[in-house]
Amino acid sequence: MRSHVSQPEHTLECATTCPCADDRHLSATPVPDTARRLPEAERRLSLRERKKLKTRTAIRDATYRLIKEQGYETTTVEQIAEEAEVSPSTVFRYFPTKEDIVLTAEYDPLMEDLLRSRPADEPVLESLRWSIRQSLALAVADTPDFEDNEMRIRLGLMASVPALRSRMMETMSVTGGLLCRALAERTGRDEDDLEVRVYAMGLMGALLEAMIYWAEHDYQDDLMDVVDRTLATFQNLPRTS
């Protein structure tokens, strides 16, 4: 499987170690500085929080192993629990549905932090473009083999399993709320403003459709080009005067 992700331009927006690497794998995209700080942030978690994170990761890893072996539909929560060495009730305590195991990513909240890290006077759309690129780099940084990459598996399932796409639409409001908050801060608007909410949720829906498009076309298009084409359909969200 050949995947395409272009290298970000060599500017100050790139990580200082931005390599001119081969673009045949997603892992060639440099990891953002925010991502490098993630392990340190995890160490600051309490023992209880670290145990919760470890359990969530074990459940998700077990789910992907089983799905790869036998498919999504035939994989049950009971099998996932046995593979992760936890009880079915523990699985449901962390993930309300089987769909949520696949759709939930620990890195999702970092999008808000990345957006906040951009210069205050930078156009909103440019800040979003940079933040999305960095989020994608983070999503693939931990898996050198694209075939086993969690994001690839998730997108492939979303493109082929109607229940997953439906559940994704239901849960988009959570990530959309985080984006509303960050956009409101950057533009001086209220996060409940109609324009902010429409812009944020419109962007979330557009990016979801772009990722599904990429998966349906066997990951042959350059991912960053897909993102750029998607964002090109949006205009900047005006700041308050």
Per-chain mean pLDDT for the chain: 78
* CB-CB contact of 226 with 214 (8 Å): yes
pTM, rounded to two decimals: 0.68
* CB-CB contact of 179 with 204 (8 Å): yes
Confidence at residue 84, expressed as pLDDT on a 0 to 100 scale: 96
- What ranges do the domains of the chain cover? 46-96, 105-234
Evaluate if residue 210 carries a pLDDT over 60.
yes
* CB-CB contact of 179 with 232 (8 Å): no
The domain defined by 105-234 carries CATH number 2.60.40.1180? no
CA 30 vs. chain centroid, Å, equals 16
Confidence at residue 121, expressed as pLDDT on a 0 to 100 scale: 87
Closest-CA residue to 90 (of 59, 66, 62): 59
Which of 15-29, 36-50, 80-94, 130-144 has the highest mean predicted lDDT (pLDDT)?
A: 80-94
Tens of pLDDT, residue by residue over 89-133, are: 999 999 999 999 998 866 666 777 888 889 988 988 899 999 888
Instruction: Give, to the nearest 10 degrees, the angle between helix 150-160 and helix 124-140.
Output: 110
Confidence at residue 18, expressed as pLDDT on a 0 to 100 scale: 34
Percent of the chain with pLDDT over 90: 32
Identify the CATH number of the domain defined by range 46-96: 1.10.10.60
Confidence at residue 37, expressed as pLDDT on a 0 to 100 scale: 46
Q: Which DSSP category does 147 fall into? A: G
* CB-CB contact of 124 with 187 (8 Å): yes
